[in-house]
Amino acid sequence: MGNERAELRWGIEQRLEFIEFRLFWEGHVNRSDLMEQFGVSVNQASTDLNRYIGFAPDNIVYDKSARTYVRGSSFKPQFLEPDASRYLAQLRSVADGILDREDSWIAELPAFSSAPTPVRGVNPETLRSVVDAIRRSEAIEVKYQSLSSAEPRWRWIAPHAIAFDGFRWHTRAFCMTDDCFKDFLLSRILDIRGSRESETSASNDRDWNSEVTLDIGPHPELSDTQAKVIALDYGMRGGKAKIKVRRALLYYALRRLGLDTDPSARKPQDQQIVLLNREVVHEDHG
């Protein structure tokens, strides 16, 4: 079977993954699902289903009354590792309008919604210019509106990475004006008017290239039962979870986790978690 798997073309293997995705999450799959999702013919869809049966005969059973293939009682994934985060990511992408419903592999979307996230207007040409500069190790001159000045200013920056803080997209870059590495919100880059070879290297961005490990645990004033629930929420083991973050993104991580303020400022039920190794926040990295 291993050799057969190795010889599969990418398109075929993707369709076999789709069959398995539908069996695992929906409990059933048929030829029309493959035809609608991939635009293949009836014959090709039948071939794909038969090929899957050949690989995993215990995973799939034909239900004559329902006229569809259903998940076998001894189902064991062969082509994908079932991942709740990927399923939920598809739901969120549909909710945010990033993915069309018909492009999702989920056949019957459950009722769902999400807390609204303000639209961050990143200009596609701006993003393309920044990505090009990263690929070519170039500096670009940008018109940037910071909140520290009333009017936008032109400055040269040398981007080397893209970063997401949980709400907004940034580029990590060396700023020639301030002579240091810092974050620039992509939505605040109003214009770009030139490029040149960069004289700085991403390897010199020490905060980007170093990691901090945050040890988080349940708030100590929660009851034992409440603490166990929080431990499950965050996948804690032995009463704590370790979260690795680039030092350059530490501020955003602490803010998103609600760890940027004194834990006593909120009720334990609202705060829920505390930082067990707060000293890492204040470590001198100079």
Q: Which of 40, 42, 1 is nearest to 14 (CA)?
A: 40
- Residues 223-270 have pLDDT tens digits of 999 999 999 999 999 999 999 999 999 999 999 999 988 888 889 999
**Length of the chain in terms of residues written:** 286
Is residue 239 within 8 Å of residue 220, measured between CB atoms?
A: no
Identify the CATH number of the domain defined by range 2-82: 1.10.10.10
Domain positions in the chain are 2-82, 124-205, 210-282
- pTM for the full model? 0.75
Describe the strand order of the beta sheet including 189-197 as a list of residue ranges: 180-185, 169-175, 153-164, 138-144, 189-197
- Residues 165-217 have pLDDT tens digits of 988 899 999 999 999 999 999 999 999 999 999 989 999 999 999 999 999 99
First-to-last CA distance in the chain? Answer: 55
